[in-house]
Amino acid sequence: MNRAPELLSALLNGEGRALARAISWMENGHPEAADLLRGLWPHLGRATVVGLTGAPGAGKSTLTDRLAQALRKQGLKVGILAVDPSSPFSGGAILGDRIRMQRVAPDPGVFIRSMATRGALGGLARATQDAIDVLDGAGFDWILVETVGVGQDEVDVVSCVHSCVVVLVPGMGDEIQALKAGLMEVADLFVINKADRDGADQVEAEVEALKSMSPPRPWDPPVLRTVAAQGQGVTELVEGIRTHGAWLRDQGALQRKARERARLRVEALLAQEAVRRVKAQVGEARIDEVLERVAMGQQDPYTAVATLFPD
């Protein structure tokens, strides 16, 4: 069955159900997923892709919801991907997020989807990047990607976005210290959310101190404040993201990011394809044998892998 062309035209016509189906194809490695992506390819590159990352409960979903509302008011279509590597659920919105995001959920100009696919074929970043492409190709103007924390999965996911917003909250001094290496690398904008609480000045001082200790970057990430629960500071955040986007374009940094993304993406697919071919060539049974030897401590993994590549 050749269903990719049909799904492609449904996507390009903006049919909501096609989006969910297409993203599932990407997540599950549907046999026609590659055909679909090929068809989408000429339509890509229009969307502004923004990542929101930060500790659990920092207010990322609330902020995402508010951002989406603000963008809708400007007539823009918004896709939201909530990425949670720790969650085994996939293929639908996490209930809590759905409830929190109710303000925008019934609007056809907003699409919300959880990417909670532990062990998605080729990794979460791969599935997320493909989902971003689906939304981009389907004509979404902004794509907001919410991720928890800054583990490796998230850092990979960050490579999929143009602008990365790191969401901090008052009273998380120690966590900032713990996260600092990862944070400084990925942040294009800092947001101190829950600025209605005590301690916003202190977090800001800590972020500024961190910035001054890290090697200078061509882009100096601004530190903004929001009260997402009340929608305060959201307009400024949209403007801040646009300013960063304009800077990326002026500096040719979008191309640089695209190149880095292409490298990660192609290398991931290459690795996947290499594994597939080796399995096809030597057979699963032979691989199992090798795994067993390594597991039993009879052979080290390096030698084991070398035995699978007869030259």
Ligand X SMILES: Nc1nc2c(ncn2[C@@H]2O[C@H](COP(=O)(O)OP(=O)(O)OP(=O)(O)O)[C@@H](O)[C@H]2O)c(=O)[nH]1
Contacting positions for Mg ion (CB under 5 A)? 60-61
Contact 216, 50 (CB under 8 A): no
CB of 124 vs Mg ion, minimal distance in Å: 16
CB of 201 vs ligand X, minimal distance in Å: 16
Using rule CB under 6 A, residue 274 touches ligand X:
no
CB of 228 vs ligand X, minimal distance in Å: 4
CB of 243 vs ligand X, minimal distance in Å: 22
| Residues in binding contact with ligand X, number by CB under 6 A | 16
Identify which of 117, 209, 109, 221 has the alpha carbon closest to the alpha carbon of residue 165. 221
Identify which of 240, 174, 160 has the alpha carbon closest to the alpha carbon of residue 202. 174
Residue choice 100, 257, 261, 293 for contact with ligand X (CB under 6 A): 100
Q: Which does residue 23 bind out of ligand X, Mg ion, none, counting CB within 5 to 8 angstroms by kind?
A: none
If the CB atoms of residues 47 and 144 are measured against ligand X, the closer one turns out to be 144
Using rule CB under 6 A, residue 50 touches ligand X:
no
Using rule CB under 6 A, residue 225 touches ligand X:
no
> What is the DSSP annotation of 218-269?
SS---EEE-BGGGTBTHHHHHHHHHHHHHHHHHHTHHHHHHHHHHHHHHHHH
SS3 195: coil
If the CB atoms of residues 97 and 136 are measured against ligand X, the closer one turns out to be 97
- Work out whether strand 163-168 and strand 189-192 pair parallel, antiparallel, or are unpaired: parallel
Using rule CB under 6 A, residue 62 touches ligand X:
yes
CB of 225 vs Mg ion, minimal distance in Å: 19
**Torsion sign (Cα): 188, 76, 239, 167:** negative
Contact 38, 8 (CB under 8 A): no
SS3 53: strand
Considering only residues 138-197, where is the footprint of ligand X by CB under 6 A?
Answer: 148, 193-194, 196-197
Contact residues toward ligand X (CB under 6 A) are: 56-62, 100, 148, 193-194, 196-197, 227-229
